[in-house]
Amino acid sequence: MHVAQIGFFVDPARRAPEALLRDWFPLVDIATAVGSVGERITVIQASTATGTITRGGATFHFVAPQAVGAPLTRSSAFRALLRELAPDVFHVHGLGFPNEVRELNELAPSTPILLQDHADRVPRFWRRSAWRSGAAVASGLSFCARAQAEPFRRARLLSSNVDIFEIPELTSSFTPGDRAAARAATGLHGDPALLWVANLIARKDPLTVLDGVSAAARALPNLRLWCCYATSPLLATVEARIARDPMLRDRVHLLGRVPREKVEELMRAADMFVLGSRSEGCSSALVEAMATGITPVVTDIPPSRAVTDNGTVGALWPCGDSQALGAALLRAAATVGPAARAQVRAHFDAQLSSSALGRKLTAAYAFLVEQRVSTRASAAVS
């Protein structure tokens, strides 16, 4: 089976293809996941700079739109590439490109289209007609958690018979490592040591996390929290919260922006990963943390339930409930150690690894292709 994964979003920073593959690493991870299970994989990415790169068994074509702001589907280079490739199935990244999806269907009406959610939101009312027309030509949609499709259904944007697949949005190449060596290399310490990797924004709810850590520290005097973040509009508020609480003042370490390779070492050194998100598409940091084997203690939202098998791995707590977080941290702290790390990593291997993601995506592709063949055969008979 030949799969064409398509990204219609044009990078506003106008990065070169090599830089895009470095910075948009999930694009590579998702493609190589499918290639890892033996399928032929081609990626077509809208880009201001053109070029072709082979990486991890996948071929990446960077194609420029015909004009600034024009849909990629109207590019003569894109159309010629589609005719040359003649893939068996299209996998489109994102739900926010209805015009492009509709035109893609017009260019290859016999080829099924899978749309993959990437933290997309229900569009505003004036965009819903166009959005609905794009979704109508898709054969299936993929969400990290099936429940994430419900807001779109309630808004009457999805037909009742469209196929919904529950597939992780991404995977990770992070691996477990020697905890002691990682602590020596990073300076991270604590018993337990908690790690936060998320922006300091309201949606991530760092203040509730600090309240929960403060509550847990009364029973865990050696607890430490280490925070990595890039965007930080709540930094002053977070610093003030830490400064006025003696249970946090010497326990919370604000690291700021950290290179991705250092994040992996910090995760290897930590005992638990904590997150207060009120909504997510699928937290890449959570998946990365589980790849290293540390215990997740994260909010009870649909994608986190899907990723942790309803909290079978790690602990879930209700959004905004600092007392519940404190209790969850105490429960998790009682179980951290080599056995817990092995359990988390085993779950990652079975459900979130590159090969697991590849198998799930390939099964969805095969189902849609077979469904399209069956539909065409039924139409021919009738």
Model confidence at 160, pLDDT cuts 50, 70, 90, reads: confident
Q: Report which secondary-structure segment, H or E, holds 59.
A: strand 58-63
Distance of alpha carbon 136 from alpha carbon 131, whole angstroms: 9
Mean per-residue pLDDT, 260-282: 96
Mean per-residue pLDDT, 186-194: 98
Cα-only R_g, the chain: 22
- Percent pLDDT > 70 in the chain is 98
Q: Residue 379's pLDDT is what? A: 61
Q: Which residues contact 13 (CB under 8 A, 6 or more apart)?
A: none
Whether the per-residue pLDDT at 44 is higher than 80: the answer is yes
Residue in the structure block whose two tokens are 């790169």: 53
Query: pLDDT (tens digit, 9 = 90+) per residue, 319-331?
Result: 999 999 999 999 9
Model confidence at 380, pLDDT cuts 50, 70, 90, reads: low
* CA within 13 Å, CB half, 163: 19
Mean per-residue pLDDT, 353-376: 91
Whether the per-residue pLDDT at 175 is higher than 90: the answer is yes
Mean pLDDT score of the chain, rounded to an integer? 95
Mean per-residue pLDDT, 93-99: 96
The answer to whether 268 and 292 have CB atoms below 8 angstroms apart is yes
Model confidence at 378, pLDDT cuts 50, 70, 90, reads: low
